[in-house]
Chains A and B, each alone.
Chain A
Amino acid sequence: MPNKPFAITLNPGSSLANLTGSWRTERPVYVDRLPPCNNTCPAGEDIQGWLFHAESGNYEKAWQHLTRDNPFPAIMGRVCYHSCEGACNRGQLDAPVGINSVERFLGDEAIKRGWKLATPEVESGKHVLIVGAGPSGMSAAYHLRRLGHRVTVIEAGPLLGGMMRFGIPKYRLPRDVLDAEMNRVVDMGVKVELNTKVDDILATMKEGKFDAAFLAVGAHIAKRAFIPSGEVSKIVDAVSVLRSMEGEDKPMLGRRVIVYGGGNTAIDVARTAKRMGAEPIIVYRRTRDKMPAHDFEIEEAMQEGVMIRWLSTIKKAGDTSITIEKMELDSAGFPQPTGQFETLEADSVVLALGQDVDLGLLDNVPGLEVAEGVVQVDANMMTGHAGVFAGGDMVPTERNITIGVGHGKKAARNIDAWLRGTTYVAPPKHQVATFEKLNTWYYTDAPKTVRPMLDIIRRQSTFDEVQGGLDESTALFEARRCLSCGNCFECDNCYGVCPDNAVIKLGPGKRFEFNYDYCKGCGMCAAECPCGAINMVPENN
Chain B
Amino acid sequence: MSFQPVKFYQTGTFTVGNRLLVPEERSVQANMERTNSLNSGHRACQGCGEALGARYAIDAAMHATNNQLIAANATGCLEVFSTPYPETSWQIPWMHSLFGNAPAVATGIAAAIKIKRQKGLKDDVRVVAQGGDGGTTDIGFGCLSGMFERNDDVLYICYDNGGYMNTGVQRSSATPPAARTATTMPVGQQPGNVFGQGKFMPAIAMAHEIPYVATATVADLRDLEHKVKKAMTFRGARYIHILVPCPLGWGAASQDTIKLSRLAKETGTFPVFEAEYGELTNSSKIRRVLPVEEYLRPQKRFAHLFGKTPAVATLVRLQALADKNIRKYQLLDKEAN
Write the residues of chain A forming the contact surface with B, with a CB cutoff of 8 angstroms: 8, 10-20, 23, 55-56, 441-444, 446, 477, 480-484, 489-493, 495-502, 505, 507-508, 515, 517-518, 520-524, 526-528, 530, 536
Contacts and interface: CB of A to CB of B under 8 A. Distances in A.
A521 B253 CA distance: 12
Contacts of B88: 14-15
B39 A15 contact: yes
A493 B16 contact: yes
Given A491-B17, A496-B221, A501-B39, A477 B9 contact: yes
Given A483-B10, A499-B44, 8 more contacts: A13-B86, A16-B41, A441-B14, A444-B13, A496-B30, A518-B41, A520-B45, A528-B258
Contact of B9 (A480, A497, A508, A524): A480
B288 to A, nearest CB: 9
Contact of B52 (A19, A484, A497): A497
A230 B120 CA distance: 112
A15 B9 contact: no
B29 A499 contact: no
Contact of A499 (B32, B55, B86): B55
B82 interface: yes
B208 interface: no
Contacts of A522: 46-48, 247, 254-255, 257
Nearest to B37: A501
B324 interface: no
Give chain B's interface residue range (CB within 8 Å of chain A): 35 or more
Contacts of B259: 527-528
A57 B253 CA distance: 40
B314 interface: no
A10 B87 CA distance: 7
B40 A527 contact: no
9 contacts: A14-B41, A443-B14, A489-B19, A491-B19, A492-B29, A499-B52, A500-B42, A501-B38, A522-B47
B10 A527 contact: no
Contacts of B313: none
Contacts of A446: 9-10
B16 A508 contact: no
B89 interface: yes
Given A483-B10, A491-B11, A524-B254, A15 B42 contact: yes
A14 B87 CA distance: 5
B27 interface: yes
Given A14-B89, A15-B82, A491-B16, A497 B258 contact: yes
A11 B52 CA distance: 26
A235 B18 CA distance: 61
B262 interface: yes
Given A444-B9, A502-B40, A527-B258, A15 B87 contact: yes
B19 to A, nearest CB: 4
B15 interface: yes
A8 B84 CA distance: 10
B67 interface: no
A505 B17 CA distance: 12
A434 to B, nearest CB: 19
Contacts of B45: 520
B30 A18 contact: no
B256 interface: yes
B312 interface: no
A108 to B, nearest CB: 22
B262 A441 contact: yes
Given A15-B41, A16-B40, A20-B43, A499 B10 contact: no
Interface in B212-259: 221, 247, 253-259
Contacts of A17: 41, 87
Contacts of B170: none
Nearest to B6: A444
Given A497-B16, A522-B47, A443 B41 contact: no
Contacts of B13: 444
Which of A499, A508, A527 is packed against the most chain B CB atoms within 10 Å?
A499
Which of B9, B43, B221, B258 is packed against the most chain A CB atoms within 10 Å?
B9
Contacts of A520: 45-47
Contacts of A480: 8-10, 20
Nearest to B258: A528
A495 B41 contact: no
A518 to B, nearest CB: 4
Contacts of A11: 86
